Amino acid sequence: MDHTILYGVLVLVSVFLCCLFAGDCTTFAFINRCDDTVWPGVLSNSGSPPLSVTGFSLPAGTARSLLVPSGWSGRFWARTGCSFDDAGRGSCATGDCGSGQVECNGAAAAPPATLVEFTLGGGAGGADFYDVSLVDGYNLPVGVAAEAAGCGETGCAADVNRVCPAEMRAGGGAACRSACDAFGTPELCCTGEFASPSTCRPSAYSEVFKAACPLAYSYAFDDATSTFTCAAAQRYAITFCPNSTPSKKAASSSQSRPAPRTAGLVLQDDSWLASLATGSAMARRAAPAPLGAALLFVFLLL
């Protein structure tokens, strides 16, 4: 087996076993309440282990979960207007990662894209840091909620495209560029002599983002109102178009295989997503699978 492939397999096995036996993992639920399919992308930061999934299709009205190991940091986003062939080759109108595939394979989103950023266990006492960022622009609404008392919800639920200045519109109005991306000046990009909170201040353009989405990052040093922490969450829900309810037609046409229904959402697995989708109390974590299942998993990978 090629050494690069073997390394990747071993990383995935270690993550799986860590989650299985130590329970040292966080579960993320991705919920699509938009009227159209979105294609979430996943990017691990430098020094964080790659995840088993770096991109996938999420039809309207469906949900999917992903296990992430403790200590991981990275970002999630949704690609829109994508077209992929039967072999999984294609591209997206917004948030494209340039891989030419459904999987992003370590590539980042091309601006503009609404980003969800996480650092798990990076704070005091192992607390998580998370935020929603418009620093790279905006392409669709997103919300983040934790399964833990005292942990704040954040997001950008507004349709920023409706208030986007004409000079920052992208994709025929499908996305809104950041001022840095649109104009590239040090003042707007917080670079050079402006690379500090004292010299880089909000601009008229970032204030448009902040007015629409007060909890999201509107420019690089918008930390005070935009960074959230959580000390005890084992599960997070990331909802695309959180204020929308997919039409019955959209949910029906996007269903890829039979699955339990709840509140208009089609679940792509039988885990705790039902409670997340309805906003009710979340289900308890399932008990670990037996050792035999873990060994079979390792054997199949190798």
The residue extents of the domains of the chain are 3-301
pLDDT of residue 122: 74
CA distances for 29 relative to 53, 144, 171, 218, 235, angstroms: 13, 10, 28, 25, 8
Say which amino acid occupies 124. A
- Model confidence over 49-82: pLDDT tens digits? 889 999 999 999 999 999 999 899 999 999 999 9
Residue 269, φ and ψ in degrees, nearest 5 = -150, 175
Phi then psi for residue 7, to 5 deg, are -60, -45
**CA–CA separation, 229 and 147 (whole Å):** 12
Quote the pLDDT of residue 211. Answer: 98
Q: Report, as an integer, the average pLDDT of 40-47.
A: 96
What confidence tens digit (pLDDT) does each residue in 134-160 have?
A: 999 999 999 999 999 899 999 999 999
- Name the nearest CA neighbour of 211 among 202, 223, 221, 220: 202
- Region 83-89: mean pLDDT is 93
Handedness of CA 121, 124, 128, 132 (dihedral sign): negative
Task: Report the alpha-carbon distance of residue 160 to residue 236 in Å, rounded.
Answer: 24
Q: Tell whether the model's pLDDT for residue 108 goes beyond 50.
A: yes
Return all residues near 264 (Cβ < 8 A) that are at least 6 apart: 61, 245, 246, 248, 251
41 touches 80 (CB < 8 A)? no
pLDDT of residue 24: 80
CB atoms within 10 A of CB 91: 16
pLDDT for 171 = 93
Residue 244: per-residue pLDDT: 81
Quick one: the chain helix, strand, coil %, rounded to 5? 25, 25, 50
Whether the pTM exceeds 0.85: the reply is no
What separation in angstroms does the CA of 98 have from each of 25, 58, 74, 109? Answer: 29, 19, 18, 8
For 185-234, the pLDDT digits (tens) are 999 999 999 999 999 999 999 999 999 999 999 999 999 999 999 997 99
Task: Name which of 133, 117, 135 is nearest 180 in CA terms.
Answer: 135
Q: Which CATH number fits domain 3-301: 1.20.1090.10, 2.60.110.10, 2.40.37.10, 2.60.40.3120?
A: 2.60.110.10
